[in-house]
Amino acid sequence: MSFLKPDMDDLSRKLENNSKTIFLCGLVMFLVTAAACVIIFFISLKSSEQVMVPAVTGKDLSVAMLEMQAKELYPRIQLRYSDQPEDKGIILEQSPSAGSIVKAGRRINLVVSRGIIIDRVENFTGQNIDDVKMHLQALFTSMSVPLLTIKEPVLYQFSTEPAGTILEQNPPPDTPITGPMQMDMVVSRGPENNKTRVPDLTGLTVRRTLSVIKDSDIVFDFSSRNPEGNELAGTIVSQIPAGDSLVNTFSRVSVVIAFPVTATDGNVYGIFTETLPDYPYPFTIRLDAISPNGDRAELVSLKHPGGILTIPYVVPSGTVLALTILNREISTFEVRAPAVEDEMMD
């Protein structure tokens, strides 16, 4: 069986004689294998088939999804309220636009209508007309055409309900909203010839006066002059009618303040004055003080029927007074200390 035993010396000689051939064959096989791997790699990275984006704007979502599925495109859906009830479930916008060439498997952004934000008229009876206006404005702020608006002019009538209270509305509550609608409102002016007592402001400081008038159904017309006799600077020195008088609500009361000739506390004394339109009922008015460093604080909040508005103030120089009505800032005024005249030189 010796013929089965390999001759190692002969094998070694053959390997030595053919080493170059073996090396070249191995190198060729390596290069072929590497080339095949590179080709396979790039084939795997080959771009997906390019397709045209279909036009789905204005179509129902289910129809749009079927059309995109046929193109191997996938939706990314965003819901948004729209102006019309019949828009619910309809594609409002698409991105990329119709006709764009994209790779298969691309996600297409679709804005889908979820219908109108409300579908029935709310019950506004008993609510304040100004609150309802702000509610509707916030409700439809994103819409080009609000679904519900209050028809102007509003009908006002005297009532035992507080001024500004909605007494009647048309259309009535739960009326279906099928498109933009206007509502007719009957609003309370408040009680006719309702009486109230005039608060006694005599002797009060400006800050104390502001805290009293905010709770009063009286219109105060403030004026100022220098102190006389024993009058204390910075206080109320007279009013007409006198305190505790019984008058109609929102009657006007004249009040005189004795302002110091020269303020010693570093503040500026003055009267903020504004001419307002006549309102159908007293609106809530707020005067804020904005300090030079930007801090904002309320000086007073009161009800006013319109016409001449006067509010006394004691604030540092550089303060900005901001008047707000129905949550809307309508005017500002920067307070400055009065200029000091230089003494005449001999």
Write the pLDDT tens digit of every residue in 222-256: 999 999 999 999 999 999 999 999 999 999 999 99
- At residue 47's C-alpha, the angle toward residues 43 and 49, to 5°, is 115
pTM for the structure as a whole: 0.57
Whole-number pLDDT of residue 312: 97
Q: Is 68 exposed, middle or buried (0-12, 13-18, 19+ CB in 10 A)?
A: buried
Residue among 222, 213, 205, 196 nearest 303 (CA): 213
Residues spanned by CATH 3.30.10.20 within the chain? 54-113, 195-334
CA distance 289 to 287: 7
Q: Looking at 52-56, 200-204, 298-302, which range is the least confident one?
A: 52-56
Q: What 8-state DSSP symbol labels residue 90? A: B
Q: Architecture of 54-113 per CATH?
A: 2-Layer Sandwich (3.30)
CATH fold for the domain made of 195-334: Trypsin Inhibitor V; Chain A (3.30.10)
**pLDDT on residue 109:** 93
